[in-house]
Amino acid sequence: MTRLTTLLGLELPLIQAGMGAVAGPALCAAVSRAGAGGTLALYREPPARAARLVREAAASTDRPFGVNVVPEVTGPAACLDQLRAVLPELPRGAFVTSFGLPDTDAARAVHGAGYPLVVQVGSVAEAGTALGRGAAVLVLQGTEAGGHLLGRMPADLLLAAVRARYPQAVLAVAGGIATGGDLADAVARGADGAMAGTLFVPAGESTAHPEFKRRVVGAVADDTLITSLFEIGWPHRPHRVLRNPLTTAEERAPATFIATTRVDGREHPVPRYSAAAPGDGTTGRIEEMAMYCGRSCTGVTARDPAAVTVARIRREYESARRPGTSSPGPTNSARTSGSREPSQIQER
């Protein structure tokens, strides 16, 4: 048990990231049933659909799970509308995660409903602001992580800095978690747990496109890079993705429509350089879309059901934490290999 498991009612100090196009009700519920913190991505979902997705997840698990909002993408007003729609639907024991800082109104809504607020940040300054807004848990995102990046520090340095500044805070790290040894190492370094995203992209219950899953399983850390290419719909935020024809092109191609995503029977065009990741309802030039992936992909080698993945992490974690047992070294994990990578951003 750690303070994270106690606070959120988990059996394993691991939260699944709320990834758009990946983390639907099935993945959220499967991770929850396995004893970790399943999380449902709300991303840009309209309030009515967001509430329906929460009801679907709640009907599939009786264990704690969370919902994830992204205030800087939706905007404060739409984020608050999402929360007002889903908070009445959440069961007791649920939690709310925010990618980046929620505004004070959003934070008050979560607190008023009685749910723990988990805020993902990328700097010491943001950590202080999040705590000031009532965050019960801070998720410290390092530059090893896949997806949009909130800061420029590797996870281990950010953890050390925030732990020194806020010794009583409940802290999880994000970036580089692919094995139970990685999780045990994070706890040994002062974290109360971790958040993992790349680990769950290939899961059987994930709604990621099959090609997205295949590429994550086949990738190693150096197949990823930090870029600012995929900015349509989410500008001004660098992101770690798998290399693809656009990241290696000498010149920028036209931002014409290259794919279509079907949601609730409606088709939505996807332009080249969109921030949208390919889901299982996407067709078109999938190879040119943003496939968010962390350096931990070296340790992600199978497309197992989420329960199998969580069970493996639990076994490895318990083994690594057993007295007299050391955690696996860098050869068993991609976390260490990425912890000192320069924070260079490819501009195209």
pLDDT tens-place string over residues 49-107: 999 999 999 999 999 999 999 999 999 999 999 999 999 999 999 999 999 999 999 99
- pTM value surpassing 0.85: yes
**Residue-wise DSSP of 131-144:** HHTT-SEEEEE-TT
Residue 83: partners with Cβ closer than 8 Å, 6 or more residues away: 69, 96, 106, 109, 110
137 — phi, psi (to 5°)?
-135, 140
- The confidence score (pLDDT) of residue 322 equals 83
Higher-pLDDT residue of 285 and 264 is: 285
Spatial distance between the Cα atoms of 34 and 32, rounded to a whole number of angstroms:
5
pLDDT band at 324 (very low <50, low <70, confident <90, very high): low
Over residues 206-224, the pLDDT tens digits come to 999 999 999 999 999 999 9
Average of per-residue pLDDT across 243-253: 97
SS3 (DSSP) at 164? helix
| Portions of the chain given CATH number 3.20.20.70 | 3-205+301-338
- Left if phi > 0, otherwise alpha if psi is -120 to 50, otherwise beta: which for 33? alpha
- Please report the pLDDT score of residue 260 as a whole number: 97
How confident is the model over 161-187, as a mean pLDDT? Answer: 98
CATH for the 3-205+301-338 domain, from 3.40.50.620, 3.40.50.2000, 3.20.20.70, 3.30.465.10:
3.20.20.70
Tens digit of pLDDT for each residue in 287-320? 999 999 999 999 999 999 999 999 999 999 999 9
Residue 335, pLDDT > 70, answer no
**Percentage of the chain with pLDDT > 90?**
91
**Pairwise CA distance, residues 215 & 223, whole Å:** 10
